[in-house]
A = this chain, B = another copy of it.
Amino acid sequence: MTSMGKKEGTAQVILVGDELLAGEVRDKNGYFLASSLKALGYKVTAIHVVPDNLEAIANSLKLAQRNCEVTIVSGGLGPTSDDRTAEAAAMAFSVDLELHQGWLRQLETFLKDLGMRLGDANKKQALLPRGAAILNNRKGTAPGFVMEGMDNKLLYFLPGVPSELSDMFEQEVAPDLASRAGLKVQTKIVDVFGLPEAVLYERLDGLEKAIPSISLGFLPEFPVIHVKVVARTGQGGDVRADSEKALAAIEKKLGDHICGRDMKPFATSLVNLLKERGKTLALAESCTGGRAASLVTEVPGASSVFKGCVVAYHNEAKQGLLNVPLEVLEIHGAVSAETASAMAEGVKHVLGADIGLAVTGIAGPSGGTPDKPVGLIWFSMSGPWGIDTYNKVLKGPRHWIQSLAGHVVLDRLRKRLL
């Protein structure tokens, strides 16, 4: 490769597929590849979505190869006659297609384990441009491949199925790029909650300069932001030490805003902390309507610490199931500190849990008053340490407020248990 110095390499992404141009599928691969390439130190100069058309694909390959050190192509490697990426690559490189016997033998073993046999479709998929080197697919039957063009330009061809693409990128492409450049690479992901994007970027600003082997990538998924931390060193460097140094610096800068690792479900850390502390949890939700419970139950094995939840949408349910006194509801209203704490106490007791959490508020779009505007949410947490009741005014459309409030109530408990 011409240059693998940090942030010097340029890259392009080509997404192949009529379904993307018809809006029938919402692309995930462009976003994933852009973020991953940035984290590997590349500057992505363009993403092109092109149809399943031989000339269109071949032209975009020729152009990308002229402009960028690395090109990643996604899609068009399937078994049907629409899938023409391998043929277009052969055309762009002016080589023939040939049957890749090594891949066919490998695929035969893979299929045998599933009780299946090689078919004609598999043979079509093993027709690759001469000179292509196989990229192994652990998740499917389409082989990926890599070709080296003029001036050591690299073109990687990956299947369009997002789970196959991301696995192949992490397992095959990233290590191959690193080894060609004589680099060792280590990737870690830190999940962040409760910091505005601008503040997060500001806090981490300067880290890439302070530890030159580190690159950062950001993948926001409301309301969490995933930060990809990639360390890359030459043979003399200690990639693990640099990665740990960067993570320590990030921990210091972000503190308990780090809510998890490796894009696991949001409540994973909370469920683990509850297990460690031997505590059980119950939830009482009003305006969030089950969103906090959904987050907890997304974690496999949550049942060992999660007793359940009462979605007390009506005041009747707050009284009948959670034993919120009628006077409290009448004097202070359903959206109040008093009701929130009575709900937390009530659900803890009713479900026999160690900790009770409650949320009640006004998700909108209507129902606000000057005293109690849309977005006003009261939270309460009742546990062995006593009761903690607080409020926030959240902004945004109804489903954002509901989702954000569900995250907030769980996150406060996570921080408490740290």
Contact = CB atoms under 8 A, between A and B. Distances in A.
A292 interface: yes
Contact of A290 (B22, B48, B311, B316): B311
A290 B289 CA distance: 8
A399 interface: yes
Interface string A8-26: 0000000000001111111
A130 interface: no
A151 B366 CA distance: 50
Interface stretch (A141-149, A212-220, A244-252): A212-220
Of A25, A27, A49, A352, which is in contact with the most chain B CB atoms at under 10 Å from its CB?
A: A49
B49 A20 contact: no
A313 B303 contact: yes
Contacts of A32: 23
A367 to B, nearest CB: 9
B298 A293 contact: no
A368 to B, nearest CB: 12
A366 B303 CA distance: 12
A24 B35 contact: yes
A211 interface: no
A188 interface: no
A312 interface: yes
Contacts of A36: 23
B25 A38 contact: no
A168 to B, nearest CB: 17
B310 A314 contact: no
Interface in A288-317: 288-294, 296-298, 300-303, 306-314, 316-317
A69 to B, nearest CB: 15
A21 B314 CA distance: 47
Contacts of A196: none
A185 interface: no
B51 A38 contact: no
Nearest to A265: B399
Interface stretch (A39-47, A114-122, A254-262): A39-47
Interface in A267-289: 283, 285, 287-289
A289 B298 contact: yes
Given A290-B297, A313-B297, A51 B47 contact: no
A21 B49 contact: no
Contact of A300 (B44, B293, B398): B398
Given A46-B50, A298-B398, 8 more contacts: A22-B218, A26-B31, A46-B48, A300-B364, A303-B314, A309-B310, A310-B310, A321-B321
